[in-house]
Amino acid sequence: MVRLMVQRFAIAIALGIVLAIGINELTFLFMKSASGRGPQIVELVIPAGTADRVAKGQPNPSIPTNMVFVAGDTLVVKNEDVANHRLGPLFIPSSTSASLLLSDANVYSYQCSFQTSQVFGLDVQEPVTSLTRLYGILLSGLPLGLMFGIYSLVIWPIANKQLVIS
């Protein structure tokens, strides 16, 4: 009886993990985000005429107001404008570029000279690794499998064999 119960729970847990793999990976596929990739170099170009647009209070449509990164990314800001620009700790003279290593996950709000709001947001997220995905599968698959095992005992009870003494 104990052997049959262990087999039933092993099958139920395996079924729960297989179901969790399907659900978690499907969710990961549909909800892809910047955090689902490895660190890389991201380039931001400040186009010519940006300083004039900012002085007139006109936003530059080619420059986003916020950007999402993965911890470990490097932001390279390339200044194609005639004016010098600043982004937080970076000073970017005209016709040059500067880089910023984004090593820690955090939400940053930097003072910047190429936005009309004078603020530029950087959202740095932890990367979703294979280990993170495995934790998600185990944290959903094991309880699901245990639940299947318990419900299987309710729906299909194991017959208790009684000893017959003659």
The tens digit of pLDDT for each residue in 9-68 reads: 999 999 999 999 999 888 888 876 666 777 899 999 999 999 999 999 988 888 888 888
pLDDT for 161 equals 58
Q: Which residue has the tokens 């900012």?
A: 54
Q: What is the pTM of this model?
A: 0.65
Rounded-to-integer distance, Cα 152 and Cα 166, Å? 34
Quote the pLDDT of residue 30. 81
